[in-house]
Structure 1
Amino acid sequence: MDRLLTVQEVAEMLGTTVRFPRRLIEERRITFVKVGRHVRIPESAVRDFIAGHTVQPVTLRRADLRRAA
């Protein structure tokens, strides 16, 4: 069983304010669990969200750097 995180804990993990995870929940862009009135987000859902939105750097070869515009 995954650990269920509060919205505040998710915000701290992402380095944002509470507003961002709440928006993710409202737009149904992240998996969440309703426990009564409370909303909890599985830790794996946060990891999947981060992995799915990670952009890999572009590597340039030296030959590409020497071309003139």
Structure 2
Amino acid sequence: MNPRPVPPATYAGELLTVEQAADRIRMSARYVRRLIAERRIGFYRLGRSVRIDPAELTAFVTAGRIDPISETTVWNDLRGVG
């Protein structure tokens, strides 16, 4: 009387520890743990351990990217100040 069959595991990639993830993005392990606690990056819980998919780190870093603006835009913005 199994309520639901367990789907087969399909993940075959590399998973990082918190320390490895921190090294990869050049931040502290404490910062990565905070990202996990705030659910700002996806993670896998394996028992008491936490593992992070490198693609999750890439997506997080990419989402924080700010595009450069031209010098003309900067001067036009400054003219409107004051």
TM range (shorter): 0.7 to 0.9
Which amino acid letter does the alignment assign opposite residue 11 of structure 1?
A
Q: Structure 1 segments of 4 or more deviating over 2 A? A: none
Given the alignment of the two structures, is residue 42 of structure 1 paired with residue 53 of structure 2, yes or no?
yes
How far residue 2 of structure 1 moved from its aligned partner, in angstroms, is 3.1
Which amino acid letter does the alignment assign opposite residue 10 of structure 1?
A
Deviations 1:23-65 (A, max 9, x none): 0000001000001110000010001001101111121239x48
Name stretches of at least 5 consecutive residues in structure 2 with no aligned partner: 1-11
Question: How many residue pairs were aligned?
Answer: 67
Same amino acid, percent of matched pairs: 33
CA RMSD in angstroms comes to 2.1
Distance between the aligned counterparts of 1:48 and 1:2, measured in 2?
16
Name stretches of at least 5 consecutive residues in structure 1 with no aligned partner: none
Report the secondary structure of 1:48's partner residue. Answer: helix
Given the alignment of the two structures, is residue 32 of structure 1 paired with residue 43 of structure 2, yes or no?
yes
Deviations 1:7-29 (A, max 9, x none): 00111111111110000000001
Larger RCO: 1 or 2 (CA < 8 Å, sep 6+): 1
Aligned to 1:59: 70
Structure with greater Cα Rg: 2
Which amino acid letter does the alignment assign opposite residue 48 of structure 1?
A
Which amino acid letter does the alignment assign opposite residue 65 of structure 2?
T
